Amino acid sequence: MIKRQPFFYDITLRDGNQSLKKPWNTFEKEIIFNHLLELGIQGVEVGFASASDMDYEACSRLAQIAPDNIVISALARCIENDIVKAVKSIDAASKRRVHTFIAMSPFNMEYVLNKSPLEVKKQAIEAVEFARKTIGKNGQVQFSVEHFGDCHENIDFVIDTLKEVVKAGANVINLPNTVERTRPKKFVDLVEKVYNALPKDIIISVHNHNDLGMATATTVESYFAGAIQLECALNGLGERAGNTNLYEVAIALHNSGVDVPLNLSKIYELALTVSDMSNVKIYEKAPLIGPEALAHRSGIHQDGAVKTKDMEKGAYRPIHPSLIGRKDDEKLGFTSQSGKTAIFEIISDAGYPITLQEAQRIAPIAKEEAEKIGELSTRNIIDIYYNNVLNVKGLFKLCNLEKTSDGNSILEFMYKDKKYSMEVSGNGPVDSCIKALQKSGFNFEFLNYEQKALNMGSDATAMTIMQFKAPNGQTIISRGCDESTVKANLKAIFNGLNIIEKLQPESMTTKR
Ligand code: KIV
Ligand code: ZN
């Protein structure tokens, strides 16, 4: 276990909120804020006080209700008015932090700020001095190098500026990958350089956007390179492709043996709430929280998933779903890529009896159907089960069973187009029926018989399970289900005959 605990800094209410089609009001922000507290977050950037009156009001309200141990910050450009407003807005918080930033990449300084590096450096130092004076010695000052990820060419200039900024009063240095353009390693190397250059009591923070989908990787590796504060957003909300997803970072660190100071079991429910409140859908394949994140469709994966279902580590999942409070188990979907395990699990879960051998027998039928229509629903699979286990259609057709006056019965059935009629003894009818069939030239062996009472609907209360041996030696199981135990027996026999006939067409009738 790595001792150094990460400091999770939430930016959903600031960067995330900035990106919403309808940014949150104070009431809505308060709901999310309370969830963040339940999650056990260490710090929250509550807003950009100069963005709007509504955001200023929200910052003030959240600062008022913030517990004493949570760091609360508001964002400000390196402009005095912004800084004053930000500091004022969070005045009520016990742990106050003003967060000021300016771009320092060569490209942005030249084309967006239209300022020389020296002008930017001066502005940064003066803004931090002013922020320190405004918030006082008990408050914190966070300084961000906007577009830090684009500062490869001028990293010495950036580090030099940061040293001055620290002297001016900043105690948190935030390094954003404002736009993710290249590989994580390049960014992490820069983080490491800054970490090595600054005094060790300075908190190094990272804030990564997800333009290329690697923000989680960048943030996790930055932690191992020295960044303690990890700026993340719930559901990965944030400008463009979003900010770093908090859940992914928390779980990746947890799985890496890091002591993550969050209530991980709150994650799943929180993700659904945030999606509802932000109107940003969780996409199907979203890691950990997506509806499909625990779905298995390939037969090999389904087999591994089922074998390790109750274990903490799963063959085909990164965590046990309960770690994040997710109750829906690993879902098995049946497609043409799936196999017997899925049939077995889906039918068993639906409350019907089935063996793996039966599942293996009907899987190809289900696959063929899935090739035509795509993923089968549970209903589709139950229908296949009915038609191929409980009511196997084939060349044998049971027509009638009629009692005679002497207590025996006359059994009538069809094989191909021919009608058969035979007497079945009332004493041991199963045995007698099987013997009669064998005597008529049908070549199969009867191995085993079992009858169970069950409740599968009003017209099916008895289930007969039989085992037969086909002419090639293969053992099959057949079932018959009916209100009447005698009919359940007969259905099991004829289902069995049809199963054998389908497995080895014509082979059982060699004597005929
Ligand atoms: O992405 C960014 O650079 C920011 C800064 C304001 C920290 O959000
Ligand atoms: Zn950002």
Q: Which atom of ligand 1 lies nearest, measured to the CA of 11? A: 8
Residue 233 phi/psi, 5° resolution?
Answer: -125, 150
User: In this structure, which residue's CA is closest to atom 8 in ligand 1?
Assistant: 15
Half-sphere exposure of 111 (CA within 13 A, CB side): 5
Q: Is 178 in the pocket of ligand 1 (CB under 6 A)?
A: yes
Taking the whole predicted model, whether its pTM rises above 0.75 is answered as yes
Ligand 2 centroid to Cα of residue 16, in Å, is 8
Give the pLDDT confidence of 325-346 residue by residue, as tens digits: 999 778 999 999 999 999 999 9
Judged against a pLDDT cut of 80, whether residue 238 lies above it is answered with: yes
The pLDDT value given to residue 135: 98
Residue 459 has pLDDT above 70, yes or no: no
The mean pLDDT of 467-491, rounded to a whole number, is 92
Nearest ligand for residue 144 CA: 1
Q: How confident is the model at residue 427 (pLDDT cuts 50, 70, 90)?
A: confident
Strand ranges for 105-251 from DSSP E: 140-146, 172-177, 203-208, 229-232
Which phi and psi (to 5°) does residue 367 adopt?
A: -65, -40
Q: Give me the domains of the chain, ranges plus CATH numbers.
A: 7-262 (3.20.20.70), 295-390 (no CATH), 396-509 (3.30.160.270)
What are the pLDDT digits (tens) for 379-412? 999 999 999 999 999 999 999 888 888 888 888 9
Confidence of residue 512 (pLDDT cuts 50, 70, 90): very low
Which 8-state DSSP code applies to residue 303?
H
Q: Do the beta carbons of residue 87 and residue 98 sit within 8 Å? A: yes
pLDDT digits (tens, 9 = 90+) for 198-225: 999 999 999 999 999 999 999 999 999 9
The mean predicted confidence, pLDDT, of the chain is 94
At 127, is the secondary structure helix, strand, or coil?
helix
Q: In angstroms, what is the span from residue 264 Cα to ligand 1's centroid?
A: 26
Nearest CA to ligand 1 atom 5: 146
Where does the pLDDT of residue 3 fall: very low under 50, low under 70, confident under 90, or very high at 90 and above?
Answer: low
Angstrom distance (rounded) from CA 316 to CA 311: 11
> 14: Cβ below 6 Å to ligand 1?
no
Give buried/exposed letters for 38-72 (b at 16+ CB in 10 A, else e): ebebbbbbbbbbbbeeebbbbbbbbbeebeeebbb
Does the pLDDT of residue 456 top 90, yes or no? no
Averaged pLDDT for residues 95-100:
98
The percent of residues above 70 in pLDDT, for the chain, comes to 97
Q: How many CA atoms lie within 13 A of 263 on its CB side?
A: 12
User: In this predicted structure, what is the pLDDT of residue 1?
Assistant: 44
pLDDT in tens, 44-83: 999 999 999 999 999 999 999 999 999 999 999 999 999 9
Q: Which atom of ligand 1 is nearest to the CA of 176?
A: 3
Q: Stretch 369-379: mean pLDDT, rounded? A: 98
Closest CA to 222 of 257, 264, 194: 194
